[in-house]
A and B are shown apart, each in its own frame.
Chain A
C-alpha cells in the first residue's frame, strides 16, 4: 500500500496534452478527476499506468520511482473505458488473468476469483464469455480483474459512463462500499460531475492545456470554484454566466447586465471595490434563482419564460430577463407556459464574480 505522487508530468504529441501536472493521491484516498471529454484525463491515467511514456516529470508509487518501469512491473491496475475484456476467455479466466501472471497456484486463484466474484455478485457468470453478458456485468468483470490483482494503485477510466442510468447508480453505490478500493490510492476519471461529487474524497478538475484547474474536496469545489470553468463543470443545469459591469450607485455597488440591475451583497463588496477592472462575469447557479414566492427574502427581477422543462424532481425554466438569458429552477409540481411573465428572486449573496479575462473567481 502506498501513495501515488505525480511530479511535473508532461506529455504531448503535436501539442501538449499534459503540461507540468503535479498531484498526490494518498494511500486510501479516492480521487476523482473530472473534466470535459478529450481534455487528457485518459492520457493522464495511461501515463500513470505506464502505457505511455512521459516527456518529462516523475511518477512515484510509495518511494519507488516508476516513471520508466514498464506497465507489467508497476503494480498498478486499471479498468478501461471499453472494459477491454478478453473475448475468448470466460469471466473466470478474465478475472484470473492477473493472478496467473503472478504464477499463483490454481486453488489459490480459484479461491480469490470466487471471493471477488461473490463480492461483485457475478459468481453465477463464471463460465460465460464476455459476449454473453450485459454491460453492467462486463463492467463488474473488468472491475473484478483489477480488484483481484490487489495492486498499489487503482486507475478507473470512466468505469460506468456507458451504462444506463439505473445500473450506473447501482454500481456507483458499489464504489462507495468496496473496501479494496478504499484501502489504496485510487484515481477515478469521469466527465460526469455527479459521479465526481458523489464518489470523490477529493476532486481534481482538469481544464484545457493539460492543467489541473482546482483540487479539493467536493463541497469546497462546488461552493468555492476557483474559476468559471470549474463552476460550469460542477452542477446541473450549468451555472448562469453573464457578462456584466460593476457600477457605483451612490454609496452602493451594483452589477449591470443588459437592463438588469443587481445589488452586490455587503459581504462581497470589500473584495470587489479594490479592483481596477469594472468588467466582470457574474455566475449564478440555477438553484439560487427561483420564482419569487419560493424565495421570499430575495431580490426580485422580471423575466419572460422562453422554455420550460418539467423534469420530475424539479422544473427548469429558461427566461429572458431584460435581454439576459437565465436558467432558473422551480418546484416540480409547478408549470409555466412559453411567453409567461414571472417574477424571479435571487439572493445577492449567492452571486459569484469571475474575471472575464481568465475566469478567475474574484472573491477568492
Chain B
C-alpha cells in the first residue's frame, strides 16, 4: 500500500510545483498589460506619483474620449490600417507565388541558395538600412511622406517571411494532389487554384496575420519616413505630452485602442492559425 501511494504523492508535488510556476509566469506576463490598463484609467496627477498606485483612485474614463478629441489621432489609426492591409495583401500575393516556385521548381527558381538569401534579408538589424532607405525613397516620385513609401518598405521585411513560410507550406502540400488534378483534366493554373491553394489557406492566413501585425506595430521606419501628410498611430503615441510632461494615461489609452484590431483578428482567425500548423496531415 505504502509503495503504491508514494509515486502518486511525488507526482502530485511535481504538479503543484508546476502549477505554481505557471501561476508566477502568468503574473509576470500579464502584469504589463494590467499596468497599461490601470494607467489608461488614471488621472494625469495620479500617473505622476512617485509611489505608483495599483488601482486608480478615480476612474478617468474620459481619457479614451480625450484621445479622440483630436480628429487626426483617429486618422493615424486609419493610416496604419491602410498601410498594414495593403502591405499584407502585397506580401501574401507575391510571397505565395514565390513560395510556390521555390517549393515546386527549386532548380528553375534559383535553388535553395536563392531561397535562403531571401530569408537572410531578415537577418541584418533594420536600423542599418534606415538612412540609406530614407535617401532612396526620398528620390522617388511619391517621396517618403506617403503611405506607399511604408507599404513598399515593409515588403523588405514581410516578403521574405511570407515567401519562406509559404514555401514550407507548399512543400507540405503533396504534389501528387496537383498531379491527380492534371489527370482529371485541370490545367496547372486551375489545379493550383482548386487544389493547392485551398490546402495552404490556413497557412496563408497565419502568414497574413504575421505580416499585418508587423506592419501595424512598426515604429522605427515610420518615425523617420512619415509624419506630416501621413501619420501612423505608432508615431502619434509619443506625441501625447504636455510641455515636458509625458501624458502616460493618454498614451496607454491610445495603445489599448490600437490593440483592438490585432487582438480581434487573432481571436477570429486563431482556428485557422492552429490548422496552419498542422498542414502536413493530408495523406491517410
Asked if residues A84 and B284 are in contact (CB atoms below 8 Å), the reply is no
Asked if residues B179 and A72 are in contact (CB atoms below 8 Å), the reply is no
Asked if residues A130 and B284 are in contact (CB atoms below 8 Å), the reply is yes
Partner of B199, one of A49, A82, A83, A87: A87
A114 partner residues in chain B, CB cutoff 8 A: none
Asked if residues A101 and B184 are in contact (CB atoms below 8 Å), the reply is yes
B181 partner residues in chain A, CB cutoff 8 A: 86, 97
Q: How far is the CB of B272 from chain A (nearest CB, A)?
A: 13
Question: Does chain B have a CB within 8 A of A209?
Answer: no
A101 to B181, CA, bound (A): 9
A76 to B184, CA, bound (A): 9
Question: Does chain B have a CB within 8 A of A102?
Answer: yes
The number of chain A residues with a CB under 8 A from chain B is 30
A77 to B185, CA, bound (A): 9
Asked if residues B186 and A80 are in contact (CB atoms below 8 Å), the reply is no
Question: Does chain B have a CB within 8 A of A304?
Answer: no
Question: Does chain A have a CB within 8 A of B49?
Answer: no
A82 to B185, CA, bound (A): 19
A61 to B187, CA, bound (A): 20
Known: A72-B186, A101-B184. A86 touches B283 (CB 8 A): no
Q: How far is the CB of A309 from chain B (nearest CB, A)?
A: 33
Asked if residues B186 and A88 are in contact (CB atoms below 8 Å), the reply is no
A135 partner residues in chain B, CB cutoff 8 A: 284
Partner of A49, one of B174, B183, B187, B198: B183
A202 partner residues in chain B, CB cutoff 8 A: none
- Find residues 253-284 in chain B having any chain A CB closer than 8 Å to their own CB: 282-284
Known: A88-B198, A97-B184, A101-B185. A71 touches B284 (CB 8 A): no
Question: Does chain A have a CB within 8 A of B20?
Answer: no
- Find residues 92-148 in chain A having any chain B CB closer than 8 Å to their own CB: 97-98, 101-102, 130-131, 135, 138, 145-146
Question: Does chain B have a CB within 8 A of A70?
Answer: yes
Question: Does chain B have a CB within 8 A of A271?
Answer: no
Asked if residues B183 and A76 are in contact (CB atoms below 8 Å), the reply is yes
Asked if residues B182 and A82 are in contact (CB atoms below 8 Å), the reply is no
Partner of A145, one of B184, B186, B188: B184
Known: A51-B179, A80-B180, A82-B174. A87 touches B282 (CB 8 A): yes
Question: Does chain B have a CB within 8 A of A280?
Answer: no
Nearest B residue to A88, CB-CB: B198
Known: A84-B176, A88-B198, A88-B199. A138 touches B186 (CB 8 A): no
A74 to B185, CA, bound (A): 8
> CB-CB contacts of A44-77 with B at 8 A, as 1s and 0s?
0000011100000000000000000011111011
- Find residues 160-211 in chain B having any chain A CB closer than 8 Å to their own CB: 174, 176-177, 179-188, 190-191, 195, 198-199
B184 partner residues in chain A, CB cutoff 8 A: 72, 97-98, 101, 145, 149
Q: How far is the CB of B172 from chain A (nearest CB, A)?
A: 12
Question: Does chain B have a CB within 8 A of A18?
Answer: no
Known: A82-B174, A87-B199. A71 touches B282 (CB 8 A): no
A88 partner residues in chain B, CB cutoff 8 A: 198-199
A301 to B103, CA, bound (A): 63
**Chain B contact residues (Cβ within 8 angstroms of A): what range?**
20 to 34
Asked if residues B195 and A86 are in contact (CB atoms below 8 Å), the reply is yes
Q: How far is the CB of A50 from chain B (nearest CB, A)?
A: 8
B191 partner residues in chain A, CB cutoff 8 A: 72
A124 to B60, CA, bound (A): 63
B179 partner residues in chain A, CB cutoff 8 A: 49, 51, 71, 80, 84
Q: How far is the CB of B276 from chain A (nearest CB, A)?
A: 14
Q: How far is the CB of A97 from chain B (nearest CB, A)?
A: 4
A333 to B187, CA, bound (A): 60
A102 to B184, CA, bound (A): 9
A82 to B179, CA, bound (A): 12
A149 partner residues in chain B, CB cutoff 8 A: 184-185
Nearest B residue to A93, CB-CB: B194
A78 to B187, CA, bound (A): 16
A86 to B284, CA, bound (A): 11
Nearest B residue to A80, CB-CB: B176
Q: How far is the CB of A139 from chain B (nearest CB, A)?
A: 11
Interface centre among B177, B185, B199 (most CB of A within 10 A): B185
B177 partner residues in chain A, CB cutoff 8 A: 84, 86-87
Interface centre among B179, B182, B183, B187 (most CB of A within 10 A): B183
A101 to B188, CA, bound (A): 12
Q: How far is the CB of A186 from chain B (nearest CB, A)?
A: 15
- B residues adjacent to A (C-beta < 8 A): 174, 176-177, 179-188, 190-191, 195, 198-199, 282-284
A-B contact pairs, 18 of them (CB 8 A): A49-B179, A72-B183, A72-B186, A72-B187, A72-B191, A77-B183, A78-B180, A78-B183, A80-B180, A84-B176, A84-B179, A85-B180, A88-B199, A98-B185, A101-B184, A101-B186, A145-B180, A149-B185
- A residues adjacent to B (C-beta < 8 A): 49-51, 70-74, 76-78, 80, 82-88, 97-98, 101-102, 130-131, 135, 138, 145-146, 149
Having A72-B187, A82-B174, A87-B199, one finds 8 other A-B pairs with CB under 8 Å, namely A51-B182, A71-B183, A72-B188, A82-B283, A83-B284, A85-B180, A86-B195, A101-B185
